[in-house]
Every structure is written in C-alpha cells, then in structure tokens.
Structure 1
C-alpha cells in the first residue's frame, strides 16, 4: 500500500466511524434521512458564506455550511412539531427547497465562480492526499482533511461516551425519558448538531452521497444483526471501515469512483445481512415456521 492509498482509506474510515455511530441513533429514531437532508441543505450556506466574505477559503465555507446544517434541523423539527407534518415529509420539504435555493443562488450570483453543486454531492475522496497541511516551518503533517475528521471523531466519541444513557433513552423510549426529567428536545438538537458537524466536515472530501451511504448503510446492516445497541454501534463501525477499505480496492481494480465503490460495498453488506442475519434474515424467517411445525 502506498502513502496516498493509506490516506484515502484512512479518510474513508474516519468518515465511516463518525457517520456509523450517529447513524445508529438516527435509525432508532426513524430519522435516517436527516443526514441526507443536511448534506443537501448546506449548499446555500456555502454560497452565502462566499457572497458575504468574498472568499472561497475552506473555513469560511465550513462555517456557512454548518450554520445552514443547524438551521435545517431546526426547520425539520419546527415543521414536524408546529405544523403537525410527518417527520419524513418535513425532512423532504426542508432539504429540497434549501438545496434548490442553493442552486438558484449559484446560478444568479456565483455563476462565474468555481462553486459547483456537483462537488458538494459527489466530492472526490481520491484528491484527499493533495490537500497537504504544511506548518510554518515546512513540516508535512499529512492531509488537512484527516486532521479535521480526526478532531470531529474525537468530539463524537467523547459526546457519545459521556451521554450514552441520555441518547439511549431518548432514542428508544422518549416518553419514559421525559417522565424521569430528561429533555427530549435538548438531546434531539444536540444529536442533530453532531450530525451537522459530521456532515459538514466530511462533505468537502467525500461528498454528500457517500456521507448518506455511510450514515444509513452500516447502521441498517448492524440493526439486522443485533438487538443490542452497544453491539450495534461496534458492528456498524466495523462494517463502515471494511466498506471503506474494500471500496477503495474495488475502485482501483475497476478504475472507477472510490465513493461509488464504497457505496456498492455498503449495499452488498446490507443485502448479505438481509438474507443471512441469524434473527432477522430472510433465510432465518423462512426456517422459523418449519422449525415450529416440527415441534
């Protein structure tokens, strides 16, 4: 493995771990597509950040994207709670009009500037080794993206470790959580803030499509394989890391898109779990009536 391959796989693994951890809680809350909504909704934030600052510097774009990501979560909850719109409908309405707003802003105000909505959607993880972080002394610290994603992952690990009980209760039984004094709204917004942070940190390098695939696929696979949340988190992380490494080598073999290959591996993992899961798999469900009949 050469150094560039190492950085690409490491980047994919960092995104996979972060997205998989959060995705487990999103699936339990039946809000798996929130990551998709946020990843699309950040586009107008990027454009507005450029229009107000006149700069395409990375941190300016990230701040604008993060602001719109948080706003997206507030709008989803507002439409769901205040207008009694179903959660899936509020997600769909919010991200479609925000993404459309971003496209309009680009076409009207930034048509001649290198701001491409396709970059937000698809990204290009293969370019990660090119964005090197050099110190003032000229020391090569490796790709800047790896440091950003590593910092985000540390924040998420601390967040989940310290507040696992609150996240567990508000995800499984929000009524019981409210009854014992845990604010379900507070933990909803904290979780959505973590999703926004992760999505914004990852979309520049891997693109929105791969972020969504990693936030939904590995947790959904783990959901079919276990009924224990701690095991679900571990299995989800493992599936994400395996998909990142296997997807890179599949793309290398096919000379194709790395993000696309990783997404394909994620789909294969889910299909295998769907068919062969010991408790929820298709084979196990078909065998169960036969076993009961023999008994």
Structure 2
C-alpha cells in the first residue's frame, strides 16, 4: 500500500506539472518553476510571522501568494522593461529569495524556519502524512487530496482555455488580432503554474517538481508536433517515470525523488537518440540518404 500511495502521488504531480510544463516549454519559459521555488521564501517567513506556527496551510498560502507575485513581476519586467524572459526570471527570483533570507536572519533567527518547510519535501513521507477527522477516522494521505484537487483544476483550466492557450502560445500576435486576451491567459497560466508548484513542493520537493515541469514535456516535444498528442504523451511518461522510478529506488535502496529524476533523464536520452523524426540516429540516416542520392 505504501508503494501505491507514493506512485500515485508522483503520478499526480507529474501529470499536473507536465500539462502546464508543455505550454512553458513551447513559450520558452521552462525554468519558471525553479524561479518560483526560490521566490516563495518570503511568503513562507511572512506566513510564519503572521500565524505564529508552521501549519502547512498557512505556509502554502504565503508561498502561493509570493509565487503569484513573482510571475507578475517577471511579466512586468519582460513587457515594460523589455528584459528577456530568462533575465526577468533571474532578477526576480534572486531578489525575492534574498528578501526571504534577510527576513529569516532578522525576525526568525532563533526559530527553526526556512525554505525546508515547504520546498524540500520528501515523497517517501506521503503515506504517513494522514488526514484524520475529529472522530479519529483516517481518510488516507493528505497530499493525495490536495494534489488530486489541483489536478482537476488544471485539467478544467486547460480544457476550457485550450484554444486560447494554444493560439497564444504559437502566435500571440495573431491571438491578439482576433480578440483573444493573451495577457490575461498568460497570467492565468503563470498563476496555475505557481499554485501547482507550491502545492507540490511539500509532498515531493522542489527538485522533482522542476523535473516534472520540464522533463516529460521536453521528451514528448521530441516525439510529436501535435499539441494534443504532446499533452497525452507527457501524462503517460509522467506515470511511467513515477512507477519505475519508485521500484528503481526500492531496488537500489536510494532516494525516490532522485531515482525518478534520473530515470527521467534516461527516458529523455533514449528519445533524443532514437526518436523517429528528431532523434540523432534518424537525422544521421536521413543525412546519409541525402548524400547517397546526390
């Protein structure tokens, strides 16, 4: 049963992050998840100072607010200051992370409070993080309910806004010309990314969240040019990586998140070499055929 909960948790995070990560990959904003993982630190500290405790809900609310704030700052710098997206991301997350460090050193120097509260979760602890009702009824792991809710919201968001997100991703100028509010949908996408990453941090840790945001979509991108197929392949890859990554960790007696991330790299490498159209071997064979025909 422990294996089931861990694999299910990994799959929920992989699907949620992968669906959003597909749009980030296409928009060349794949590292936004890593930026958010640093930028939320001030929110964690402020939430602790206001609530006086380290309850997960208050931490997530504080982190979520600053995750959203960071996306707004990044977009503002990109649009108004004409910074490249990667530069805007770098400036924003380093600034907010530094503010968080200062708040910790000034106000919580004698308290055990830092980014570990939210950012560096451990997926192996999911089966013992139980939701227990007042009458003592055990409902199962609490992260499963949180991540399932997030996944449902993400699926609804993409289903409702698929046309707007697709056109805004591939041709924002055309989207604006036909009346699609591209700025609004961009902020909605960034908000969804922020909420998803922050909700996943405590359960699986920031490294695995960033890996699932980038790895499965990047692998799927090498296999197809169709967005719908890319989303489907991304989800399948996420589940496979969660399943085999857990059993690899069990076999090696190693870190589960580490094994999932390494396995993700293995999947990507295999596709990078053997993909039918974009793989190294396919390109080499095509090049040889062209040379022979000439």
Distance 1:118 1:27, change over 3 A: same
Moved more, 108-117 or 273-282: 108-117
Of 203, 206, 209, the match for 1:205: 203
Q: Is structure 2 residue 50 aligned with structure 1 residue 52? A: yes
Question: 1:246-257 maps to which residues of 2 (within 5 A)?
Answer: 246-257=244-255
Q: Is the 8 A contact 1:23 1:32 kept in 2?
A: yes
CA distance, structure 1, for counterparts of residue 118 and residue 59 of structure 2: 11
Instruction: In structure 2, list runs of 5 or more residues that go unmatched.
Output: none
Determine if contact 1:145/1:205 at 8 Å carries over to the other structure.
yes
How far the C-alpha of 1:249 sits from its partner, in A, is 1.2
**Which sections of structure 1, spanning at least 5 residues, go unmatched?**
none
SS of residue in 2 equivalent to 1:122: coil
Deviation sequence 1:213-248 (CA, Å, 0-9, x none):
000000000000110000000111111111111111
TM-score by length of 2: 0.97
Query: Structure 2 vs 1, CA of residues 101 and 56 (structure 1 numbering), >3 Å: closer, same or farther?
Result: same
Tell me the equivalent position of 2:263.
265
Task: Name the SS for the 2:140 alignment partner.
Answer: strand
Equivalent residue of 2:40, what SS? helix
Contact 1:119 1:207 in 2 (8 A): no
> Among 152, 169, 172, which residue is 1:171 paired with?
169
Partner of 2:21: 23
What residue in structure 1 maps to residue 292 of structure 2? 294
SS in 2 for 1:5: helix
SS at match of 1:32: coil
CA RMSD, 1 decimal? 1.2
- C-alpha distance after superposition, 1:249-289 (max 9, x if no partner): 11112222111111101111111111111111111111111
Cα contact 2:222–2:271 (8 A) shared by 1: yes
Whole-angstrom CA distance in 2 between matches of 1:244 and 1:39: 21
Number of residue pairs matched? Answer: 293
SS at match of 2:110: coil
Aligned position for 2:78: 80
- The list of structure 1 runs, each at least 4 consecutive aligned residues, that deviate by more than 4 angstroms after superposition, is none
TM-score normalised to the size of structure 1?
Answer: 0.96
1:117 corresponding residue in structure 2: 115
TM-superposed deviation, 1:111: 2.8
Question: Given the alignment, which residue of 45, 58, 61 partners 2:59?
Answer: 61
Q: Note if contact 2:119-2:202 (Cα within 8 Å) is conserved in structure 1.
A: no
CA distance in 2, matches of 1:254, 1:95: 35
